Structure 1
Amino acid sequence: MYVIVNAAASADGKLSSRRREQIAISGADDFARVDRLRAESDAVAVGVGTVLADDPHLTVKDDELRAQRREDSRPANPARVVVDSSGRTPTDAAILDDAATTYLCLSEAAPVDRRMELAEEAELVTAGDDRVDLLRAFAALQEQGIEQLMVEGGGELIFSLFEAGLVDELRVFVGPTIIGGRDAPTLADGEGFVAKFPALDLEAVDRLDDGVVLTWRVDDR
């Protein structure tokens, strides 16, 4: 599986404010770029924190892009993936509607009653004891035909994916604003690396809206 992490960050590397409220960092051109990337992907993934904070739909917005997917004998929208170790995804979350298949990646720590409730709304992938074992979960997703996975956040999931060595490409729109705040989420939160920092090879720098899109390949040497 080829994993692309895509994010919009402020000039100081924040994804949102310390209140974890959604902030418009990029503009129309970047929204269109993200929509194209969604349309190119087999699935789009987020962590449960993003679901709880933003209630995203994660569908393709452009009619022509959806039509092109249908012409290619693909569903109008890519599948959606939520990494949710303890089963906190609300059963009325937008990501669980019938616009596309949704996979919930849970751990064995998710209560049985929650799993039963969520199984009525989504396809469940259970991997790991206390936390989702991302290597096993992603292998299971690949068995479902997902070859390109786009990850849209948040910082905890992104860090975990880098930690597991699962990221192939990183694309970041860096916007012309400063958010600040030691408690504001960054591109990669989690525990942080103290050694063996993931190395990136810069592939492209493209000006867009009033910011830039930086594209890196992950150097796994």
Structure 2
Amino acid sequence: MKLVVNAATSVDGKLSSRRREQVTISGPDDFDRVDALRADSDAVMVGVGTVLADDPHLTLDDPGRQRSRRDRGESAHPARVVADSRARTPTDARVLDDAARTYVLVSEAASADSVEKLEAAGARVVTAGEQREGFAGEQRVDLAAGLAALERESVEQVMVEGGGELIFSLFEAGLVDELRLFVGSMLIGGRDAPTPADGEGFVEEFPELDLRSVERVDDGVVLEYVVE
């Protein structure tokens, strides 16, 4: 499986403001780049925090890309994946409509009632691994086990769109293959504003990245890295 993380940050490395509300950092050309990356992926993945904060749809915008996928014998939109340890995804979230298949990865900490409600709303719930202590004492999904379960269902490329806690956890588990980062020409600031890699943070054995390309897009740049 190939796992590609995509994010947009301010010049000081923030995903949004300290209020954790959605901030538009990039522009139309970058939106199109992201749509193309989604179209090339088998699944688009976010953490439950992103679902709760932004209620994203995670589908393709370009009808031509939808047609191209159907012409290849695929669904019009890639599958959607939510990493949601305690099954907190609202049953009326947009990712649970019938536009595409949706997987919700939960830990054994998720209540049976919450899991049943998600399944009734159309989600394919995957219990990924045993309970284990995560940051802040919470129980986290075993991401390696969850992604392995998706791979068994022919998911070969996953695009990760956030948020920072999920991205950090994927790097921590050694699961990331590529990082594509749009850096916009704006300053957000704030010690409590989210970054692309929140969580506990690394204090040693930092992930090493190999910069493969730099491209100016809109009023910013897209940096493409391969994780070594």
Please confirm whether the aligned pair reaches a TM-score higher than 0.5, indicating the same fold.
yes
* TM-score, scaled to structure 1: 0.98
Shift of 1:156: 0.1
* TM-score, scaled to structure 2: 0.95
In the alignment of these two chains, the number of paired residues is 219
Where in structure 2 are there 5+ consecutive unaligned residues? 132-138
In 2, distance between residues paired with 1:187 and 1:107? 23
Structure 1 letter corresponding to 2:205: K
Specify the alignment match of 1:29 in structure 2: 29
Shift of 1:119: 1.1
In 1, distance between residues paired with 2:140 and 2:40? 29
Moved more, 124-133 or 10-19: 124-133
Where in structure 1 are there 5+ consecutive unaligned residues? none
Specify the alignment match of 1:4 in structure 2: 4
Shift of 1:127: 1.2
Specify the alignment match of 2:77 in structure 1: 77
Structure 2 letter corresponding to 1:89: T
- Map residues 114-193 of structure 1 onto 2, 5 A cutoff: 114-120=114-120, 121-128=122-129, 129=131, 130-193=139-202
Structure 2 letter corresponding to 1:192: G
Specify the alignment match of 1:200 in structure 2: 209
Residue by residue, what CA displacement relative to the aligned partner does 1:22-41 show, whole Å, maximum 9, x if unpaired? Answer: 00000000000000000000
Matched position secondary structure for 2:159: strand
Moved over 2 A (4+): none
In 2, distance between residues paired with 1:183 and 1:111? 30
Structure 1 letter corresponding to 2:16: S
In 2, distance between residues paired with 1:5 and 1:58? 14
In 2, distance between residues paired with 1:8 and 1:103? 24
Residue by residue, what CA displacement relative to the aligned partner does 1:170-210 show, whole Å, maximum 9, x if unpaired? Answer: 00000000000000000100000000000000000000000
In 2, distance between residues paired with 1:135 and 1:41? 18
Structure 2 letter corresponding to 1:143: R
